[in-house]
Amino acid sequence: MWSPIRGSALPRASLQALAVGPDPRTKLHSLLLQRFDAQRCVLTASGTHALSLALSAATRAHPDSPVLLPAYTCYEVATAAVAAGVRVMLYDLDPDTLEPDWESVKDASAEGASALVVAPLYGLPLNWDTARLVASDLDVLLIEDAAQAHGSRWGDRPVGSFGDMTVLSFGRGKGWTGGGGGALLLRGAAATVAGNLRPMLPAHRHRMLREAKSAAALTAQWVLGRPRLYGLPSSIPFLALGETVYHAPTPTMPMTRSAAAILLAGDEAARREVLYRRHSAATYSAWLLGSGHLTVVGRPQMAHDSGALRFPVRLRGGWSALKGTEAARLGVAPGYPGTLRDLGALQTVISNPDARLSGADVLVRELVTLPTHSLVSNHDRQRLRFNLEHQAVM
């Protein structure tokens, strides 16, 4: 995934790494509270850290009460659950829309739960009215994992403003990036229940090292974030670019100053990028909806409300049918290679290991995603269309 980073902002980030000037995290904190209509905001080193704090807070009153997690989602959700030490109940997804299978949610919560985590994948908006109603009926906290939802809207409000708690992520490949960083937003009763949440504060020398690493990573992302150089980072095995792997939890840390500086500098560019991504998604929809060989995932009538981080489709054979083809070189990427149930690190805390997850299993087999960012030309999209349709009929 590619994210817009302004090269002119990199010197500013480097200065922030040296703690020169006012701390940009103060301004970012206020901006997020206002934009997403929240009462409290905790800035973290990653979205995973933010979700871990949310899960810990949600189960504070009832530590043995499980949390409801989507079976098909980013593996970092599992990392956060392990870090928080919570019990987990998995629910299924609708493979045609990526929305929760609400009957599966109700089944998973039959013996009680403390929180429902809902994650709009790839920037697709979902029905937040339904999500709020279900959470209310089940008497659970609604945790909105909006890590992939930058620029998405539901009605007249931005996605990121609907949960009792909201998780934002600003890592590599997100719609709005600081090269790293995350945020936990809290509202209503959740702001009280959560108590005094805050990340660990590292020692001064460790803070400086984290800042230096953050600024260096931002520079590398900007240099390599162009089509001519894509092959260089993807050829380095230990970077695991384009792969989904489970990462063990790390101590919860605060966002770096340099990440906050880049986020503030790139705010407008990230909002403009959403418009291009929506245009790409609309183009793919027009081309592929009537193909008969592919399933366009999501709700095309809501395309104008999507953040369109990626464009998801279901293809017979899935990623295995495309790996090594021109489509892969043009930026088509696999979905998640397994459900959360398949992760060894999570299996000991899943309370419903025999749950029916047929929708998630379909997505594991068939889902691939297409690039939507502004470095993808119309010619690239046409080549992608040809490759997908050719592969689908083989």
- Over the stretch 262-290, which tens digit does the pLDDT of each residue have? 899 889 999 999 999 999 999 999 888 77
Q: Which domains does the chain have, with CATH numbers?
A: 7-193 (3.40.640.10)
Strands 40-44 and 182-186: antiparallel
What are the structure tokens assigned to 366, written together? 């068939």
pLDDT of residue 361: 98
Q: What is the mean pLDDT of residues 89-118?
A: 97
- Six-digit token pair at 227? 């089509």
Which one of 132-141, 172-181, 222-231 scores highest in mean pLDDT? 132-141
According to DSSP, the β-strands at 333-334 and 153-154 are unpaired
How far out from the chain centre does Cα 238 lie? 22
**Confidence band for 4, pLDDT divided at 50, 70 and 90:** low
- Asked whether the predicted pLDDT for residue 238 surpasses 50, the reply is no
Asked whether residue 184 carries a pLDDT value surpassing 80, the answer given is yes
Q: Cα 64 from chain centroid?
A: 27
Residues near 363 by beta carbon (within 8 Å), at least 6 away in sequence? 72, 93, 95, 98, 314, 335, 336
pTM, rounded to two decimals = 0.89
Mean pLDDT of 286-309: 80
pLDDT at 232 over 50: no
Least confident of 21-25, 82-86, 96-100, 365-369: 21-25
Identify the three-state secondary structure at position 22.
Answer: coil
The two most distant CA atoms of the chain are separated, in Å, by: 59
